[in-house]
Structures are given as C-alpha cells and as structure tokens.
Amino acid sequence: RLERLQRIVSKLQMESGVCEEQLNQADTLLQSDIRLLNAGKPPQKAAEIERDLDKADAMIRLLFNDVQTLKDGRHPQGEQMYRRVYRLHERLVAIRTEYNLRLKSGAPAATVTVPLGQRPRQELDEATLRYLQDLLAWVEENQRRL
C-alpha cells in the first residue's frame, strides 16, 4: 500500500512539473498576445493559449484525483502535494482570467481597469460570469471530494 502511494507521489511530482511548464507556455504566449493587442494588432496565439489552458485544466483535475488518493491513504506527503496542485490551480485561474478579460474580450489593458461606477461591456460581463460559474462548480466538486 505504501509503495503504491509513493508511486502516486512520484507521478504527482512529475506531472505537476509538466503542468507547470504548460502554464508557463500559456502565460508566455498570453503576454505576447497582450503586447500585440496593446499595440493595436490582432492576437496571434489565442487558439494555442486556449488549448494549453484546457490541457492544464484537465491535468490539474487528474492531479487532484491523485491527491485525494494520497489523502485517503493518509500518506504523509498528501497535504504537501495538495498545496502544490492547488497552487497550479490558482495559477491556471489567474492566467485564464487574464486571457478572458484581455484577449477573449478584445479589451486592451486600459479597459480592464474600469472604475467601479462604470459598467464594462456586456459581452465581457457574460463571458466572465459564465467562466466564474464554471470555476465555482469545479471548486465545489473538488471540495465535496475532499
């Protein structure tokens, strides 16, 4: 049993590194496209960014399943692995939010920092709300598992 859990820890360490690289690549592409957008040019890598983020999301879901197996088996590294995967998830959320706010909406950085008294564009509201609802459902699902 302990050997099986240790294999899961090794798998988590390796796959979380792969996931981190995926997020780094998505973030690099996103920053590049934001610079293009701010220069008045169309983004070039939106589809690739979205694909990388979707891959990272799927990977993180599987990592959380492995973390749950460790926690169920009361493995001493269960909590440490949970924190590692949770940090990856937080980073994914941050990158995807920036992607949705800046690239998907086509809004330059200046539009994102709108004073509270003004309403941003309706499409931005709906896309962000839909994304946040999906995110909330995902968090609730993982909390039930834990």
Residue pair 33/49 in contact by the 8 Å Cβ criterion: yes
Residue 137 pLDDT more than 80? no
- Give the domain ranges of the chain: 2-145
Sign of the torsion angle spanned by Cα atoms 7, 57, 17, 87: negative
User: pLDDT digit string (tens) for 2-59?
Assistant: 789 899 999 999 999 999 999 999 999 999 999 999 999 999 999 999 999 999 999 9
Q: So what CATH class is 2-145?
A: mainly alpha
Residues 6+ apart with CB under 8 A from 17: none
